[in-house]
Amino acid sequence: GDVLDWSDAGLSGPVLDKHSTGGVGDKVSLLLAPILAACGAFVPMISGRGLGHTGGTLDKLESIPGYDVAPSSDRFRAAVARVGCAIVGQTARLAPADRRLDAIRDATGTVASIPLIVGSILSKKLAAGLGALVMDVKAGSGAMMPQLDRARELARAIVEVAAGNGLPTVALLTDMNQVLGRTAGNAVEVRESIDHLTGAAHDDRLLDVTLSLCAEALVLGGLASDLEGARAAALRALQSGAAAERFGAMVVELGGPADLIDVPSRHLPAAAVVRSVDPAWPGVVNAVDVRAVGIAVVNLGGGRAREDDRVDHSVGLTEVAALGERVDPGGRPLALVHARDEVSAARAAHAVRAAFEVGEFAGESRAPVIEVQRTV
């Protein structure tokens, strides 16, 4: 397979990347890549598609008309050099054995094997020619690895193996006991990401995870000397509009519309049916089966049960209630379902309602960033 070499690309900053183990509503990459680019890093992000209950960054980006997730190597390198970031799919020449090993893992019941997960993730990242990597390892009901101790074991293994291969890596353990942000789907998540880049939306948990990962990456890459300064720089890049500018430039560079940031609703597909999901009774959200929420999105057509399934980019959920939030019938719903027809909307509403536990008092909710794993 190929190993990307950025030494001859004339880049003026470090080559950084981030990888997530996957969750529901995880649109962090769409914010992080342009933020890091605006801070002087170069981010050649090679992303995947959704499989099972988790969403995939490529599926989200394919809801943007014209966006090319499989550019030629020259176009990819040019986009990274010119804009500072490009989010694309894996080529056949990058870690070519990984896809075969994935199929074998699937057939042999070893999908959850930590050594094989580490090999799959790092084979791609080492081939991308990175200077440093930040990992977002999720734990909770919507994560691939729900148990915290298993997620911690995975995070530690990734950091150690990466360091042994000369790739400085920090792993954040983050919470997936609720949807990240307020949307789950494809076009709806792109819209929420754009709204955060332009300041039209603000979700504390989503921003905390994003800025924490950005800060670690900037310190690893030598663009900041401490986490406090790094986080402040990332926040400035976001609030000044510099990150939004980079995102818009990346979209144009890879074939998408020039005015996506200004008028996203003109370009992003919208579902034919939007229905409110009311709780059965008023109360406070005290638990969410996030995996079930993700499966509801897949069943709407927003994800894949099998690798060759077609994705409907318009469907999904918006205004998803957070843990500790008060909901009531006819008032604050659990979520809005975006569906292609009334039948699938009703089915999704039933599944979403069943996934939320509403009671008198708020349950315990974990901090978005649970802990950090670094090499000793």
The residues assigned a catalytic role are: 17-20, 57, 105, 120, 124-125
d(CA 336, CA 183): 9
**Phi, psi angle pair for 131, to nearest 5°:** -90, -30
Q: Residue 316: helix, strand or coil by DSSP? A: strand
d(CA 71, CA 120): 22
Residue 163 tokens read as 């360091």
Cα angle 220-222-228, degrees, rounded to a multiple of 5? 75
8 A C-beta contact, residue 62 and residue 310:
no
Q: Residue 288: helix, strand or coil by DSSP? A: strand
Q: How far is CA 19 from CA 137, 172, 297, in A?
A: 8, 10, 22
Burial class (CB in 10 A: 0-12, 13-18, 19+), 280: exposed
List the beta bridge partners of residue 325: none
Closest by CA to 195, choosing from 103, 319, 351, is 319
List the beta bridge partners of residue 210: none
Say what the alpha-carbon torsion angle 315, 318, 324, 325 is, to the nearest 10 degrees. -140
d(CA 105, CA 119): 12
d(CA 158, CA 161): 5
Closest by CA to 370, choosing from 184, 203, 115, 171, is 171
